Structure 1
Amino acid sequence: MKLDLQNIPRRKNLSKEEFLREYFKPKKPVIIEDLTENWPAYNNWSFDYFRKKAGDVVVPLYDGKPAKGRQNSHGVAMKVPFREYIDILEKGPTDLRMFFFNLLQNCPDLVNDFQYPDLGVKFFKKLPVLFVGGEGSKVVMHYDMDLANNFHFNFVGEKKVILYPPDQTGLLYKVPYSIVSMEIIDMDNPDFKKYPALAKAKGFEGRLKHGDALYIPSHWWHFIKYETASLSLTLRSLPKSPGQIAEVLNNLLFIRNYDNLMRKIKGQKWIDYKNRIAVKRSNRNAGIDE
């Protein structure tokens, strides 16, 4: 048994009008192969380049261990200079990842290496962020709390991406009071006996190589596996509709704080409770008897 996935479309020479009409407005993903070819980053960005340009910058690293008990989710595993992290990456597989690292704040000179593409979309220019990961590391299936439209540009290494639209949420074992699927589920090799609803979910997959630009629409679920040590840039376009803005505020002000509070009060019992609810709901949505 396999996940029901179709290939993310790959395009070249995509005009602004075509992008808006065929992908942005209908909220469909696409990989644009030639969007970055004229950027300095296309030729320059490598681990050696970042070692020279940003080697002294201390970066927070995160591992793949799920938070337990009273731990807050997304806790920092360690902080090291960027060059030391690159050394770790080049030694072989590691689950250490660096995510949502703001280039504008930490390495402003590198902002000159890329451009905001002319796709008819208004970008939030205060938040160009780096995502870096070691070979074999994985990002749990989730959607972004701020419901941004993401434009993800891969420059070093290769990664596998699995996407699901919002209408498949009920089958993805979404954890209550969160924006993630159950962390124990490995979407790269799911256990369909334990999580049978996944077999009924319909999604997309693709592989990102050097220079590829992936458009992930707002509210879409995404899982990422670093096939090799990889470095990517994400540019974001924030939601504008009143309904989406209200949901973002609810995510940031209520859901995240409530979940962290309950973790502190109930510890592992809260996590176990949420996981039981996630299994019950998704199996029920899939018409599976418990």
Structure 2
Amino acid sequence: MKLNLEQIPRVNTITKEKFLKEYVHLQKPVVVERLIEDWPAYKKWDLNYINTLAGENIVPLYDDRPISSHHKFNEAHTSMKMSDYINLLHSGPTNYRIFLYNLLKEVPQLQKDFSYPDIGLKLMKKLPFLFFGGTGSKVFMHYDIDYANILHFHFHGEKQCILFPPSQTKYVYKLPHSLLSHQEIDYANPDFDKWPALQNAKGYITNLKHGEMLYMPEGYWHQMTYLSPGFSMSIRSVTKSKIRFVKAMYNVFVLRRVDNFMRKIQGQKWIEYKNKEAIKRTTKRVKKVL
């Protein structure tokens, strides 16, 4: 059996009015294939171009090891020069990724290569983050701490994106005091005997190619797999929902600090507790639903 996933709708171009009415207001994802063909980045941005401009920068790297008590929230696992990392990407599959890196701040010249699309959202212009990955590298299933609307632009290569709306949280084995799904789940080939609740989850899937933009609505779960070396840029827009804004503030100022504190005083016992509770709570919720 496979996950219950439908293809994310695709359009070549889109007007601001249609984007807001059919996707933002309804909180539905969409891929816009030709939104940025007028950007210099559309023709210029590839790994070699990044290497030319930022090869000497030291960049933080993450791999696919499970969250442990040895690292704080979003703490990098290692670092290396960007040029060495890009050589690693070209050499073959690797688990190392660059995650939530503000390379545009480190290399201001990159900011000249794109503009913020007039698509009806008030975009946060100081926080365009870049994400890099090699063939086979994966991002754990998670939702973003700030419940933002996200415009996710992909460059150089192809990546697979799996999304679940917030309504499906009860099925994805969410870790308590966390933004993550249980990290032992393989969303490419889920074991439904071990994770039976996933059979009830209804989500979306798409493969993003160079120059395409994926709109991810507020609080959507997302898991990414790089099918080839490449990178993406995310631009965010603050949620307009008062309830989600309050949740975002709680995540930023309470949840993250509590989680780090508990890791510090309980160590790996805290991680094991969360993993067990994710299974226990999901099983209990699903029994109520069914």
Structure 2 equivalent of residue 23 of structure 1: 23
Question: Does structure 2 conserve the Cα–Cα contact (< 8 Å) formed by 1:66 and 1:73?
Answer: no
Q: Which amino acid counterpart does residue 281 of structure 1 have in structure 2?
A: R
Write the mapping of 1:35-54 to structure 2, written as runs, cut at 5 A: 35-54=35-54
Structure 2 equivalent of residue 219 of structure 1: 219
Write the mapping of 1:95-174 to structure 2, written as runs, cut at 5 A: 95-174=95-174
Residues 3/83 of structure 1: CA separation in 2 closer, same or farther (3 Å cut): same
Question: Does structure 2 conserve the Cα–Cα contact (< 8 Å) formed by 1:71 and 1:264?
Answer: no
Alpha-carbon separation, structure 1, partners of 2:71 and 2:128: 28
Runs of at least 5 residues in structure 2 that lack an aligned partner in the other structure: none
Structure 1 equivalent of residue 287 of structure 2: 287
Structure 2 equivalent of residue 175 of structure 1: 175
Alpha-carbon deviations, 1:168-196, whole Å to 9, x = none? 00111000001110111111111111111
Structure 2 equivalent of residue 85 of structure 1: 85
Question: Does structure 1 conserve the Cα–Cα contact (< 8 Å) formed by 2:175 and 2:182?
Answer: yes
Q: State the secondary structure of the residue aligned to 1:279.
A: helix
Deviation at 1:106, TM superposition (A): 0.9
Q: Which amino acid counterpart does residue 269 of structure 2 have in structure 1?
A: K
Alpha-carbon separation, structure 1, partners of 2:281 and 2:203: 19
TM-score calculated relative to the size of structure 2: 0.96
TM-score calculated relative to the size of structure 1: 0.96
Q: Which amino acid counterpart does residue 161 of structure 2 have in structure 1?
A: V
Alpha-carbon separation, structure 2, partners of 1:61 and 1:103: 13
Alpha-carbon deviations, 1:192-230, whole Å to 9, x = none? 111110111000000001111000001000000011111
Q: State the secondary structure of the residue aligned to 1:253.
A: helix
Q: State the secondary structure of the residue aligned to 1:286.
A: helix
Deviation at 1:28, TM superposition (A): 0.3
Q: State the secondary structure of the residue aligned to 2:247.
A: helix
Alpha-carbon deviations, 1:50-99, whole Å to 9, x = none? 11111111111111111224432433122211111100100000010001
Alpha-carbon separation, structure 1, partners of 2:77 and 2:149: 28
Q: State the secondary structure of the residue aligned to 2:222.
A: strand
Question: Does structure 1 conserve the Cα–Cα contact (< 8 Å) formed by 2:137 and 2:226?
Answer: yes
Residues 54/69 of structure 1: CA separation in 2 closer, same or farther (3 Å cut): closer
Write the mapping of 1:176-191 to structure 2, written as runs, cut at 5 A: 176-191=176-191
My pick for the range that moved more, 30-39 or 278-287, is: 278-287
Write the mapping of 1:253-272 to structure 2, written as runs, cut at 5 A: 253-272=253-272
Alpha-carbon separation, structure 2, partners of 1:26 and 1:232: 25
Deviation at 1:104, TM superposition (A): 3.5
Q: Identity percentage over the alignment?
A: 47
Q: Which amino acid counterpart does residue 81 of structure 2 have in structure 1?
A: P
Q: Which amino acid counterpart does residue 22 of structure 2 have in structure 1?
A: E
Matched, 1:94 2:94: yes
My pick for the range that moved more, 10-19 or 61-70, is: 61-70
Question: Does structure 2 conserve the Cα–Cα contact (< 8 Å) formed by 1:11 and 1:31?
Answer: yes
Write the mapping of 1:232-251 to structure 2, written as runs, cut at 5 A: 232-251=232-251
Alpha-carbon deviations, 1:19-65, whole Å to 9, x = none? 11110111000000000111111110111111111111111111111
Q: Which amino acid counterpart does residue 237 of structure 2 have in structure 1?
A: S
Structure 2 equivalent of residue 55 of structure 1: 55
Question: Does structure 2 conserve the Cα–Cα contact (< 8 Å) formed by 1:103 and 1:127?
Answer: no
Question: Does structure 2 conserve the Cα–Cα contact (< 8 Å) formed by 1:67 and 1:74?
Answer: no
Equivalenced residues, count: 289
Deviation at 1:266, TM superposition (A): 1.1
Q: State the secondary structure of the residue aligned to 2:287.
A: coil
Q: State the secondary structure of the residue aligned to 1:228.
A: coil
Question: Does structure 1 conserve the Cα–Cα contact (< 8 Å) formed by 2:10 and 2:31?
Answer: yes
Q: State the secondary structure of the residue aligned to 2:120.
A: coil
Question: Does structure 1 conserve the Cα–Cα contact (< 8 Å) formed by 2:73 and 2:256?
Answer: no
